Amino acid sequence: MSFNQYPVPPQNGGYQPPQGGNNNFIVLNNKSTIVAYILWLFFANLGVHRFYLGSPIFGAVQLGLTFLGWLTMPLFGIGLIFLIPLWIWLILDLIWIPLRTGAMNNAALEKIAGKIS
């Protein structure tokens, strides 16, 4: 029995790109308002919803305010200086979430429309 009678497995993890034709792929990266609200509901103080919606700097600031607030809370309630503005900001995020998801999804659709036409 010859070893050459069996096909050779692909070397790139099993993916074989299509042969010939148009190899342009369009990936639509929609963000879900519902997912963002669920992330806000469970992880708002950590800024996870901000990371999900493409605002990592503001997500890191919210995470830092949470960390500083709870770290300094035993020191005569000094942590409230960080936590109260954070909580106000998180309430405003309830309005910001659908605005941001709409803007991101519209930008993605405009980018796709520009590639198609």
Could you read off the pLDDT of 35-59 as tens digits, one per residue?
Answer: 999 999 999 999 999 999 999 999 9
Domains of the chain by residue range: 31-116
Average pLDDT over residues 13-21: 60
What's the rounded Cα separation, in Å, for the pair 2 and 53? 56
Average pLDDT over residues 56-64: 97
